Amino acid sequence: MNKYYSTNMSIFVFAAPALLLFTVFCVYPLLPQIWMSLHNHDGFRNLGFVGLDNYREMIANSSFWTAHKNTYLIVAISILLGLPLSMMLALYMDSQTPNLRRFFKSAAMFPAILSVTVVAQIWVAFYEPNWGLFNSLLKAVGLESWTKSWLTDQYTVMPSIGLTFLWQYIGLNAILLYTGIKTIPKQYYEAALIDGASFVKVSLRITIPLMQDVIKYVLILSMLGSMAFYSHVRIMTSGGPGDLSRTVVYQMYYIAFETSQFGKGTAIAVLFVLECLLISFLIQRFVARERLEF
Amino acid sequence: MKYLIRLFWLIAGCTFLFPLYWMFSMSFKTKSEAYNNPFGIPQIWDWLNYSEALTKYPFFLYLKNSLIYTIGTIAITLVAGSMLAYCLSRMQWRWNAAALFYISLGLIVPIEVVVIPLFQLIKSLYIKDSYLGLILPYTGFSLAACVLMLYAFLRTLPKELEEAACIDGSNVYQAFIRIIFPIVMPALVTQSILIFMRIWNEFPLAFIIAGKDQFRPLTIGLLSFYINVGISDWGIIAASMVLSSLPTIIVYLIGNEKIEHALTAGAILK
């Protein structure tokens, strides 16, 4: 029957639109990227072949390394701090009554459904030096000397932006992880219950190992999300003070669209794609290699 | 100990909601109260910020644009995506496996890395100052997840489904529209929600492509409004934030069960 329907014509009609859209707008842009990175290009004209000069110049630029330091700081915050917190929230939600769980789920989702423009600007107000939330709280408990101009201080700017990011996505990740907990069949817990194992022990020995697929998914998602960290920086500090809060993607945007050096911008992009591929590969290779079937 | 943990998470739960409260209360404060009482409940509830925001901030224009981008992307992705998924899962085509692998590459490419060539491409196709300039790239980047989910769904259906249609004498297009489309509806709803969540708040690409005010979606329009107002008038800024967030908040309040379901369907699939 399906053979009857599978004429060359019908296959073409069904497959072509999606494959065409996907090829033109998702795959094709990757190719001129490499070509462009070897040329001096200002966004309108190609000003000649320069070989690897763009790469050499970008790597010699100190902003490039500041941007890398900041990007990996965000990655570290979201993986080392964010994921464990999300996991704890997910485990805590699992142990609660349905009503409390519903409260936590809705509360945790709210930051993630708001636009990044709204969230980042709210936090700009919280970090405001004169009347902002953090300085007001510090003044209220008598720690006046700790007050800071959070977003213009070179040491606090990146952690401050990172905290906003953390706050926005902890809840969403917790909900994803919670669904992983839900897929574990109940009989796995029966033996542990008879032994009288503690909640912490059950979580570490049974729950977390059995939901490694979902953990891996959330890990890849937060990894790529924080690698491409850009929007919050754009809204909260525009990369400032100076270049101190630029991330790799921000640096790429800055070089390409604000200084009209498209060739150099794409050189950053090409290096960045390689980094992302390497990290995805490492996660695929070393985290949760076997699929679990229940 | 147990109570300490509960206290910790209750406070954490409230911090998730606090910015929401702050945004609403701030939007009702006069300029002087915004500075004297930035975190309390407003003493005088003042609607002035909203009327001023609505005159200065072209909310309905940006809302219309966001709707066009999101609905356009959802429509094209679902139609093209379900057709390809149908072809890959139920038609006999030599390149099925290759095409499936090819389209799944789309899950790895983050949209941010191809922004520069995409910008050039959209300029050279003369669609930069039009809605298609964002809808088409969004579609390209939404297809992979859509096709993979629908493919997994269609694979579980029995082969005999189209037989009845075939005996009735309908051709493959009629069979697809009358029989397959209604069956995959639940999966299409899930995909629509996932695409909505991603595209409605998409920032990095829209920031570059939607240069003209007339084509800006809410996220970008709101940022340019902050810059116009300056950072002194927080009442108006908060009012514009509330207005811009209302659509998503309403959607979430109506469909939060469906949204959670969609998110988890996305997580379990991969």
- Does the CB of B167 have a partner CB in chain A at under 8 Å? no
CB A265 within 8 A of CB A271: no
Question: Of chain B residues 232-261, which have a CB less than 8 A from chain A?
Answer: 234, 237, 241, 244-245, 248-249, 252, 256, 259-260
Determine the pLDDT at residue A163: 93
Per the structure, the count of domains in chain B is 1
Are B16 and A111 within 8 A, CB to CB?
yes
Determine the pLDDT at residue A95: 83
User: Which backbone phi and psi does A49 adopt, to 5 degrees?
Assistant: -75, 135
In a domain, A266, yes or no: yes
Which of A4, A7, A29 is opposite residue B118, by nearest beta carbon? A29
CB A145 within 8 A of CB A186: no
Top residue of A93, A121, A216, A277 to mutate, by most chain B CBs within 10 Å, is A121
Q: Give, rounded to a whole angstrom, the gap between the first and last alpha carbons of chain B.
A: 37
pLDDT per position as a tens digit, A17-39: 888 999 888 888 888 888 888 88
In a domain, A281, yes or no: yes
Min CA distance, B201 vs chain A (Å)?
5
What's the one-letter identity of residue B75? A
Low-confidence winner among A106-115, A171-180, B163-172 (lowest mean pLDDT): B163-172
In a domain, A189, yes or no: yes
Identify all chain A residues contacting B22, using CB atoms and an 8 Å cutoff.
122, 125, 133
Domain span holding position B69:
47-269
Q: How much of chain A, in percent, has pLDDT values that exceed 90?
A: 22
Supply the CATH number for residue A97's domain. Answer: 1.10.3720.10
What's the one-letter identity of residue A100? L
Identify the band that residue A149 occupies on the pLDDT scale cut at 50, 70 and 90.
Answer: confident
Are A176 and B163 within 8 A, CB to CB?
no
Determine the pLDDT at residue B270: 46
In a domain, A72, yes or no: yes
- CA–CA distance, A72 with A247 (Å, rounded to integer): 9
Name the more confident of A237 and A201. Answer: A237
Name the more confident of A233 and A189. Answer: A233
Positions of E strands within A99-177: none
Q: For chain A, what is the mean pLDDT?
A: 85
Chain A residue with CA closest to B37: the answer is: A131
Per the structure, the count of domains in chain A is 1
In a domain, A7, yes or no: no
CB B260 within 8 A of CB B193: no
Determine the pLDDT at residue A197: 75
Q: Helices in B91-217 by DSSP H: which ranges?
A: 96-104, 115-124, 132-155, 161-167, 172-175, 181-200, 204-209
Q: How many CB atoms lie within 10 A of CB B40?
A: 10
Domain span holding position A161:
24-286
Q: For chain B, what is the mean pLDDT?
A: 85
Which of B220, B235, B175, B210 minimizes the C-alpha distance to B28? B235
pLDDT per position as a tens digit, B34-64: 777 777 777 777 788 888 888 888 889 999 9
- CA–CA distance, A270 with A39 (Å, rounded to integer): 13
| Residue matched to tokens 């401050």 | A160
Supply the CATH number for residue B61's domain. Answer: 1.10.3720.10
Cα separation values, B100 from A11, A18, A128, B97, Å = 14, 12, 50, 5
Top residue of B17, B115, B245 to mutate, by most chain A CBs within 10 Å, is B115
CB A71 within 8 A of CB A229: yes
Chain B residue with CA closest to A29: the answer is: B117
Cα separation values, A85 from A78, A80, A131, Å = 10, 9, 29
On the CB side of B237, how many CA atoms lie within 13 Å of its CA?
A: 23
Question: Of chain B residues 71-130, which have a CB less than 8 A from chain A?
Answer: 76, 79-81, 83-84, 86-88, 90-93, 99, 102-103, 105-106, 108-110, 112-121
In a domain, B42, yes or no: no
Are A32 and B248 within 8 A, CB to CB?
no
Which of B250, B241, B188, B195 minimizes the C-alpha distance to B218? B241
In a domain, B230, yes or no: yes
In a domain, B178, yes or no: yes
In a domain, B204, yes or no: yes
Q: With a threshold of 0.90, does the pTM exceed it?
A: no
Are B207 and A234 within 8 A, CB to CB?
yes
In a domain, A5, yes or no: no
Are A167 and B15 within 8 A, CB to CB?
yes
Q: Span A68-74, mean pLDDT?
A: 93
pLDDT per position as a tens digit, A256-266: 888 888 888 88
- Work out how many CB contacts closer than 8 A connect A with B: 261
CB B15 within 8 A of CB A166: no
Per the structure block, which two tokens stand in for B252? 């979430």
Determine the pLDDT at residue A5: 66
Identify all chain A residues contacting B175, using CB atoms and an 8 Å cutoff.
5
In a domain, B39, yes or no: no
Determine the pLDDT at residue B77: 94
Identify all chain B residues contacting A17, using CB atoms and an 8 Å cutoff.
79-80, 83-84
Name the more confident of B82 and A281. Answer: B82
So what's the ipTM on this one?
Answer: 0.85
Residue B132 has pLDDT above 70, yes or no: yes
- CA–CA distance, B124 with A181 (Å, rounded to integer): 49
Q: Span B118-141, mean pLDDT?
A: 89
User: Which backbone phi and psi does A48 adopt, to 5 degrees?
Assistant: 110, 160
Are B86 and A14 within 8 A, CB to CB?
yes
Q: Span A148-169, mean pLDDT?
A: 89
Min CA distance, A183 vs chain B (Å)?
9
Identify all chain A residues contacting B268, using CB atoms and an 8 Å cutoff.
179, 183, 214
What's the one-letter identity of residue A221? L
